[in-house]
Amino acid sequence: MTRDPQQQENVSHQIARLEEAVLAATERGDRPRRLYDAVLDALRAGVDSPVFSRWVMDFLMQGAAVQPPSGLPPVATIIVPCHNYGEYLEECVNSVLMQTFTAWELIIINDGSTDNTHEVAQALLRRHPGHAIRYFRQERKGIVQPRNRGATLARGEFILALDADDLIAPQFLEKTVPALRARPDLGYVSTKALFFGSVNAIWPTEPFKWVNLLVTNQQTNTTLYRKRMWQEIGGYEERMVHGYMDWEFWIRATKRGWAGAQLDEPLFFYRRKADSVVMRAKDRDVAIKEQIVRLHPDVYDASKLDAVRAEMHNQNWIPVGLVRQDLVIRPRGPVDMEDTAATEERAKVLLEMLRNALPSFAHVFEGEHVGRGDPAVFPALRSRLAQKAQALLDKGERDKAAETALQLLATFPAQPGAALLAMQVLLRCVKINEAHTLAGQYMALFPRDKAVRGFMAELMALVAGHTEDPYRAMALLDSAHMLAPGHERHGGELAERLAALGQHRAAERVREGGRATGGRRRVWYITDTFGFGAGGVNGVTQAKFMTLSSILRGHDRPDRPDVTVITAWHPGLPEGMAEFARMTAEFCGEDGFRWPLWIAVHPERNPEEDLRWQAAGEAELIIEEGVLLEGHRFLRTLPLPEDCPRAFVHHTSPDQYTGKFEYRNLYDEAIHAFSGYATHVCVSENVIAEWKAIDVLADKRWTYIPNCAAEEEAAALLRRDTGEVRDALELPRDAMIYLCLASVQTRKGHDILLDQMAEVFHKVPHAILVCVGPVHGEWSGWDIVAEARRRYGQERVRFTGIRRNALEYVRACDCMVLPSREEALPLVLLEGMALEKPCVASDVNGIPELVEHGATGLLFSLQNPRDLARHMVALGTAPERARAMGQRAGERYRERFSRKLHAARWAQAIGKMLAGS
């Protein structure tokens, strides 16, 4: 609304009178609340007055003093990056020292300052030796990396980024920490900001709505957030080098369903300067916002940028028209409900999880009473039901005892104490699988609960004691020791088991509290998930087993490095370790292997607190392996040495990162990530050439290490009669069986295959097609299944889903088929070669490195898909030719791709990497 001159004069007069009242109150040393509220209203209304902003700061700082150290483990970590802000640093740190909530730690990162920042930081450390202040000095890395480094080092559950020239009110943590703790459905809590300096205002003025962050930023980087959220969304985006890295961070959190809230008090004091990073970013506002749009093709439609170009010039605004209309954001909790409703909603989620996890007891988690327990009566009720369950056990009534314990959990599903009782009773009822399932679920929910972790450790040790295979037992004992490293009995049993299996260095490591003596080189193998329970049965999951077993192959010698495996905790990890131990013992045979030090990281726990992490020593080489960028993102969350050489293991070509086969376009993120690795290991020479064609990767060190297959299992299957294998799999003995062993999705070319099957079935009437692998609905998988059933029926084209015994299907088939649009060096074709099967495959990427056309199989071009049918018919109507090709494929595998060659290649590569060549 436009004011006339008389109204404008009246407003100016009112402001002047209010300023006079503030100055008079300041002179008297008086700070009345009504005057404070009036000043806040003026600032909210847009009055830019340094008198008012100073008054608000003084009001909130009254009585502030440096608080004594808490001596408690930090709940919140405050990260202060500083580049040439030495003149402001002491004031900033003092605002932290004055926090009334004292369970914090402060991390100061001097990012290549050339002023007096280092001297100021050193003086602060000397002045406050009892406070939890850590100081790091590094070369200039820019505005993003210091925040990520600080978050990586953080020991607190919550993180607060604070620029070195800004301040927080003494009550900031006192108000935000309880707010975030009270709302488990929230990822972050901010406050209103008080701008002071060149601009004086309260910001933002509009009500906070977390979903609006997609189009307008409503909070500063000084927002308290969960470290778990930072880990899950991959930290701050290091390509945001010109600013707005906090807005991009909130956008990424929002699209993944992380909600937040904002307190109305201005507890953050934001110093506005004409030459600040934020002000410089505003000069590039449109370019940076366009960068954000292009970084998130799943949120914004960049093709519409030209249509909204004028609107892009509005400050702090991304046009709503760019947001995809089909965008769906699923909140992690009922963020707009009151706390009671949030608690009830959480109970519903937990009860659903319990019904699914314990199907034989699902009825216990039904009814009006479930999830509605009064916390005040929990201790007494737990004691009474524990006694009742024990009495039933004494009578031999196991099912009733289990139901009694589970009734407590049904009433209090969010109480770890209720879960612990249920686990203990289930175990006494000899329901080990149910106890293990429950322990895994509640370890994920309460990773810091020592009793739950301790129970899982005891359970793993118990299972190990009843496991016949000595290597599986060894790994299960190791998982128990990993969960409870201070447990003497587990440690003693593990050391004995390791020594009995010739793993003397690993046994010494356990006896010495984690670190073995002898000055070996140290290699860290890092992957985001490990074991079939985490990543499913897919090529990369199995390739990890191959890679790690090859790295570990060979008896212990002083010239062989110590290996540490770092991966994320998940309930299936102990079983994954056990299966890996069994397979590695079989794979390595007389060559032997060295059992590594395992470290399982949980997003809610600081890995540096883990005794095993502390014992691992500094890595001298880091090898990262994962699916696409998942392993790299996990690696970025870890407190790793900055200068340690890193190697990235590639299982895919550049095409998989472009969004061509998936909705996600990861290409820019991938190239940026890969530029940080000195060495790259790739399974295909052809794919190496594709990566090296990208300028920033051309001069990197590239090493070719092709995959291998589970040849020991293949050898055992070759001794079995094919007819008997078909009988066991319920496949017809007299059929011509084509096998497509691949996840069902567009990239794998099942649609191409279906188009050609009409001709194949016409010319090979006794043929059937068996498709083994998961169906990826998000990439047209279920559409492919529906089309196959519509055209050919369920008998001629069979979809089995995931099969752990996939190699049995390879043994049973006559011919492998792989019509992929993209592959690096497909493991399924190696498995077919090891089992002496011919194949028909597309000629993309690394496939021609495996298949010798006309000798071990037949290749076709995607430009001529009719050749796929022609080749399938040729092998289907000439079984002797097909068998001869299969035998030559087996010979080719043994000559070029055997496991021993794989291990030798890895040993040579690691030697060169450690030598720096």
CB of 913 closer than 8 Å to CB of 647: yes
pLDDT of 499 reads 95
pTM, two decimals, is 0.69
How high does pLDDT run on average in the chain? 90
**654 falls in which pLDDT band (50, 70, 90)?**
very high
Q: List, for residues 580-608, the tens digit of each pLDDT value.
A: 999 999 999 899 999 999 999 986 677 88
- Per CATH, the number for 711-897 is 3.40.50.2000
Q: 735-780 pLDDT, tens per residue? A: 999 999 999 999 999 999 999 999 999 999 999 999 999 888 777 8
396-424 mean pLDDT: 93
Do the domains 711-897 and 469-704 match in fold? yes
CATH code for the part of the protein at 339-446: 1.25.40
Is the model more confident about 582 or about 2? 582
**647 — pLDDT class (breaks 50, 70, 90):** very high
d(CA 364, CA 355): 8
What confidence score (pLDDT) does residue 538 get? Answer: 53
Q: Which residue has the higher pLDDT, 470 or 11?
A: 470
Residue with the bigger pLDDT between 602 and 365: it is 365
In the predicted model, what is the mean pLDDT of residues 39-46?
Answer: 90
Q: Please determine, for residue 876, whether its predicted confidence score (pLDDT) is greater than 90.
A: yes
Residues 6+ apart with CB under 8 A from 527: 544, 565, 566, 567, 624, 625, 626, 631, 634
Task: Identify the band that residue 1 occupies on the pLDDT scale cut at 50, 70 and 90.
Answer: very low
Q: Which pLDDT score is estimated for 460?
A: 92
Write out the two tokens for 812. Answer: 């049973």
Please name the residue ranges forming H helices in 154-310.
172-182, 227-233, 245-255, 277-283, 285-295
- Domain coordinates in residue numbering, the chain: 5-61, 76-322, 339-446, 469-704, 711-897
How far apart, in Å, do the first and last CA atoms of the chain sit?
A: 71
Q: How far is CA 571 from CA 430, 480, 607, in A?
A: 19, 12, 18
Task: Return the CATH fold of 76-322.
Answer: Spore Coat Polysaccharide Biosynthesis Protein SpsA; Chain A (3.90.550)
Summarize the confidence of residues 847-869 as an average pLDDT: 97
Residue 687 has pLDDT above 80, yes or no: yes
Strand duo 815-818 + 621-625: pairing: unpaired
**Mean predicted confidence (pLDDT) in 784-807:** 92
What pLDDT shows up at residue 275? Answer: 56
Among 45-54, 150-159, 351-360, the least confident range: 351-360
Query: Is a pLDDT exceeding 70 seen at residue 5?
Result: no
Could you read off the pLDDT of 506-523 as tens digits, one per residue? 999 998 876 656 678 999
The tens digit of pLDDT for each residue in 603-640 reads 667 788 888 998 898 899 999 998 888 899 889 888 88
pLDDT category of residue 373 using cuts at 50, 70 and 90 = confident
**pLDDT band for position 372 (50/70/90)?**
confident
Helix crossing, 432-445 with 450-465: angle to 10°? 150
Burial of 813 (0-12, 13-18, 19+ CB in 10 A): buried
Question: Quick one: fold of 469-704?
Answer: Rossmann fold (3.40.50)
**Tens digits of residue pLDDT in 51-80:** 999 989 999 998 889 999 888 888 999 999
Residue 689 C-alpha from the chain's centroid: 29
Res 537: pLDDT: 44
What confidence score (pLDDT) does residue 539 get? Answer: 66
Amino acid identity, position 159: I
- Which tokens in the block code for residue 473? 């037992």
Q: How confident is the model at residue 334 (pLDDT cuts 50, 70, 90)?
A: very low
* Contact yes or no for 593/549 (Cβ under 8 A): yes
Q: In what order do the strands lie in the sheet with 857-860?
A: 797-801, 767-772, 736-741, 815-818, 839-842, 857-860
